């Protein structure tokens, strides 16, 4: 082997080995938690026997741990006399750091324990506007009664924003209308609910039952603004009824405004059954009509990221929520 080859071999082989040795030296010089705990105990009690008893360590082991820590840090932490133990000036400064490190480790362990426990910590729930006012009272009561340690944080947004928030981790769980058709999202169906027709008092379909879907072909249907999934569902229902298009001249940002427009005689609208009681009691100028079976419906579900770490917890929440929703005018799944 030539001298050039030897130098090249040394560079290629010895340099990584030297790096490994340096890493091992650095690793050996890292204080252990046991050493920090021993030093913190001595700093608090200023007595080896009392400090050893406080942390359940033998006195020789504690003394050895402190000595090892001094060697690693290259600092004399204690001034030892025959009668007492004193902190050196350097020891006083580093004792504060040692206690802070131990406190953070303790907080880390507590947080890990909380994370392992089901239904604790924060749960960021996204809800669509056409669900939030009508289902949240049931959801909030369930969480309050059954999961008191769960920090439920509610975000009301339209479907597209909710799905974006779920994808990037801003939200944990969604409550919305399905199907979504998103492969990366797992749906946990809760219930199906019928749509009803809301009309002014003088409308010929007001208060009727068994309304055929075909009646939607000729109605002046008022809809929510674009972006609301309920708008798209209403348009789908119209298309299923044989209506080629649904010209829209008036829209609303929310169901409350939509219903007031109906009460004012501007047209009719479709409401999910869970919204009827809340919205129609706002005016005495409204009637509700019910479709013949099978009535147009929508499905409401919880949705989570596929493979979510808390999947089992969310499935249990969905099961509990189904039972809690039974008193509502829905068909629980």
Q: pLDDT tens, 170-226? A: 999 999 999 888 999 999 999 999 999 898 988 888 888 998 888 877 878 888 776
The CATH homologous superfamily for domain 121-190+299-332 is: Periplasmic binding protein-like II (3.40.190.10)
What is the model's pLDDT at position 7?
A: 52
The answer, yes or no, to whether residue 10 has pLDDT greater than 70, is no
CATH topology assigned to domain 31-116: Arc Repressor Mutant, subunit A (1.10.10)
What is the model's pLDDT at position 19?
A: 56
The 10s digit of each residue's pLDDT in 234-271 is: 777 777 766 766 556 667 778 888 888 888 888 888 88
The answer, yes or no, to whether residue 169 has pLDDT greater than 80, is yes
The 10s digit of each residue's pLDDT in 66-87 is: 999 999 999 999 988 767 788 9
What is the model's pLDDT at position 110?
A: 67
User: Which CATH entry fits the domain spanning 193-297: 3.40.190.10, 3.40.30.10, 3.90.1150.10, 3.40.50.2300?
Assistant: 3.40.190.10
Q: What φ, ψ does residue 190 adopt, rounded to 5°?
A: -110, -55
Domain spans, the chain:
31-116, 121-190+299-332, 193-297
DSSP secondary structure of 86-106: EE-HHHHHHHHHHHHHHHHHH
The 10s digit of each residue's pLDDT in 305-321 is: 998 888 889 999 999 99
The answer, yes or no, to whether residue 25 has pLDDT greater than 50, is no
How sure is the predictor about 282, in pLDDT bands with cuts at 50, 70 and 90?
Answer: confident
How sure is the predictor about 26, in pLDDT bands with cuts at 50, 70 and 90?
Answer: very low
> Residue 262: is it exposed, middle or buried by C-beta count within 10 angstroms (0-12/13-18/19+)?
buried
What is the model's pLDDT at position 280?
A: 86
Same CATH fold assignment for domains 121-190+299-332 and 193-297: yes
Mean pLDDT of the chain: 84
Q: Which residues pair with 298 in a beta bridge?
A: 193
The answer, yes or no, to whether residue 6 has pLDDT greater than 90, is no
How sure is the predictor about 9, in pLDDT bands with cuts at 50, 70 and 90?
Answer: very low
User: 294 to each of 55, 116, 210, how far by Cα in Å?
Assistant: 71, 45, 10
Beta strands (DSSP E) in the chain are 78-80, 85-87, 121-127, 150-156, 173-178, 185-200, 223-224, 251-252, 269-272, 286-290, 297-305, 331-332
């Amino acid at each position: 082997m030539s001298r050039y080859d030897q130098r090249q071999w040394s560079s290629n082989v010895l340099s990584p080995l030297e790096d490994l040795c340096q890493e091992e030296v650095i690793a050996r010089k890292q204080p252990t938690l046991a050493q920090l705990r021993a030093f913190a105990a001595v700093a608090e009690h200023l007595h080896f026997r009392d400090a050893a008893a406080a942390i359940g360590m033998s006195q020789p082991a504690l003394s050895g741990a402190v000595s090892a820590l001094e060697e690693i840090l290259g600092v004399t932490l204690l001034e030892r006399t025959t009668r007492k133990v004193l902190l050196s000036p350097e020891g006083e400064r580093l004792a504060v750091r040692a206690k802070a490190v131990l406190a953070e480790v303790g907080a880390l362990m507590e947080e890990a324990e909380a994370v392992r426990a089901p239904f604790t910590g924060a749960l960021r729930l996204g809800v669509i506007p056409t669900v939030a006012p009508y289902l949240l009272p049931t959801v909030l009561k369930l969480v309050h009664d059954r999961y008191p340690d769960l920090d439920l944080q509610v975000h009301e947004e339209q479907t597209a924003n909710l799905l974006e928030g779920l994808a990037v981790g801003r939200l944990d769980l969604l409550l919305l209308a399905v199907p979504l058709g998103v492969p990366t999202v797992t749906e946990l169906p809760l219930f199906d609910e019928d749509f009803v027709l809301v009309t002014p008092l003088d409308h010929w379909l007001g208060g009727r039952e068994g309304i055929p879907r075909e009646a939607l072909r000729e109605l002046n249907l008022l809809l929510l603004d674009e972006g609301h999934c309920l708008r798209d569902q209403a348009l789908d229902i119209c298309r299923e009824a044989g209506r080629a298009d649904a010209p829209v001249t008036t829209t609303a940002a929310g169901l409350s405004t939509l219903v007031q427009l109906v009460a004012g005689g501007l047209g009719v609208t479709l409401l999910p059954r869970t919204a009827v009681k809340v919205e129609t009691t706002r005016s005495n100028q409204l009637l509700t009509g019910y479709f013949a079976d099978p009535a147009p419906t929508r499905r409401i579900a919880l949705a989570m990221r596929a493979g979510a770490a808390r999947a089992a917890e969310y499935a249990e929440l969905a099961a509990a929520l189904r039972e809690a929703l039974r008193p509502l005018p829905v068909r629980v799944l």
